Structure 1
Amino acid sequence: MATISTFTGPISTVARRLAEKWSREQATPEKSQQVLLNTLSVSFVNFYLECMEFETDLEASDSWNLVKQTLMDVADLLITNLGKLECRPVLENAQFVYVPPKVQSNRIGYVVVEISESFQSAKLLGFVKEVSIDNFPINQLQPLENFLNYLEFLELQTTKFKSQKLDSSNQNLVSSSQNLDSSSQNVANLKRWLENIFESSWSTIESIFLTEPAWQFRSTEKGLKNSVERAKLIDFGIKANRESVGIVVKVSHDESNFDDMKIIVELHPTNGQEYLPSSLHVMILDEEETAVMEAKAKNDNKKISLEFNAAVGDNFSVKIVLGDVSVIENFLI
């Protein structure tokens, strides 16, 4: 059987116009070129995967967010249910592809795209599952045939996992319905918080941060009313030397639009500690369990705060990681 080593095709006019538009909005020629090539690369890989009948989500990719493109060197493409694929561009005759350190994790793989000098066409040179160096040799890439087989394998694994999860849910349906109060505590319903109905596992700020003045956890949100907040102690257990942090979740909305919620998630030190544990990592996960926001604590962080908007009917999770231990809190709006 012949090996599919590369794929060459035209870059659409729509993709070129968008890439040129975004590049013109950059402050320096270097950043302009970077955004241009990243956008063309992602667009071409998206076209290829659509031809191969893989479902993608450009709008949910960081590379399709102009603000993130400006602040980062990112060329990711979200493949539905599988994760983010990094589409790194190179010019013709390049021997190495540059992979920024910040995108050397949280990716299902890396595809290298050669952009022609005219920006009229592109070529997929190959892929690699993992990258741990900034400049990866192009001659070490695997052929596209392996790439497609790899994506099909990931799809099978995802389908198998969902099937096992569904079977497990069905088996636990009876016992869960008999213990509804305990089960409901696994998901915090933020819309009900605004009706002053709280899960028993979430407490007032004063009860969690006993030695700290409650006012320091509160902020005034202009134009927002019906604001409520709750806190919980997160204990990472013996594996993390009994470290703990406090999580504070604040939800509010404008009276003119009840369906549009503003969410603030904060992490604070506990037990009289001045700073959060170093290397603490917090992520906001969407419904597909993809990290859409994240932050890491350094040696002198007194607090981490993540702020975003959501609508009634949405759900999300907060994943807090310390060392080898992770804790996930689930929320429904």
Structure 2
Amino acid sequence: MNALVYPQYWRQKLSHKFVWLEPEHFEEAKKISNCNLDEAREWKVYLNALALLGFEQWLRETTPDIKIHRVSCSISQRISTNALIDVPILILEDFNVYLITVDNLDNDFLTIPEEVINSPNLAAHFYVLLQVSEEEEKLTIYGFLRHDQIVEHCYTNNLEIQEDGSCILMLKWFDQEINNLLLSARFLEVKAIPLPSQFKANQAQKNTSNILVSLSDWLSGIFTEGWQSTEIIWKTLPINLDVGFARSVNKSNSYEISGTKLFDFGILLNGESFALVVNQKSAVNNDKDILVQILPSNKQYLPLGLQLKVTLNYNTSESESQEVTARTSDNAIQLEFNESPGQQFKVEVSFNGAVVTEEFLL
């Protein structure tokens, strides 16, 4: 958290870590969960409601003047796995708070849907871990994590999205001094914790080029701003092109010209950068063979789920697309096609809603 100086009375005032659940909490939670759901989802909605109601009470008793707005006890959202998740969210001052609700903490980690971290519609500034003990009629406030801390921890520990679309969070990452959450909400600026929605808007403007890149100019040594000769640019990077199938393409000089542009996805991947490589050579009937590649420029592997898409004749009614997605331990992805001079094509690289777009003229 940013270095902030808090009033001394705040430091002394905030100390609670659990709250007793009242009969009215159970009654309201039952009403909320009585929505003709299947048994498993009904139980989850019930726990979410208890956690939200108890946490709200703790907030109001601890800091009566703090602004709290309930978004929902249980918002159903369809995620990429085509499943429904229930999202308990509230707004604390101007910060979105996502409540992670469990009924036990038997492991040293837990999992949450990846979308609640990376989706512009679901991501929150803070993630609060709450344990509901129904029999003891008690809610334990275990701790909290900031969104940017989750991104940093996952990046530092090389944690990838699981096959079921979930993300692993280690319990040791959570700040168990819950007072810090209230101090942050009161004294921190919202912009100090950027979310994917903010990043997406900024990054789309930054990385969507309105310039049509002419590949024929490359043959004359003229590169559009941001692009460089692949042979030159890769000499300046900490990793070389001698990886995977990229070796045969770029080391054998089978392509007449190759250009590279570096880009990143900002906070989504903690500033990790990538190389968009476009290779061209002449084919039969004056056509051009084009190979488009994405490679990591400062890591060994691409992040799982990074997608490369090429659309031919994108500005006509005859457009056609092909795409490929990075798997675990992929050190490059590529698409190859053949097209006539004078035609245009578009390349899109995307990750969790953020898109980098480049347009080309043969």
Give the TM-score of the pair, scaled to structure 1. Answer: 0.44
Computing the radius of gyration from Cα coordinates, the structure with the larger value is 2
Give the TM-score of the pair, scaled to structure 2. Answer: 0.41
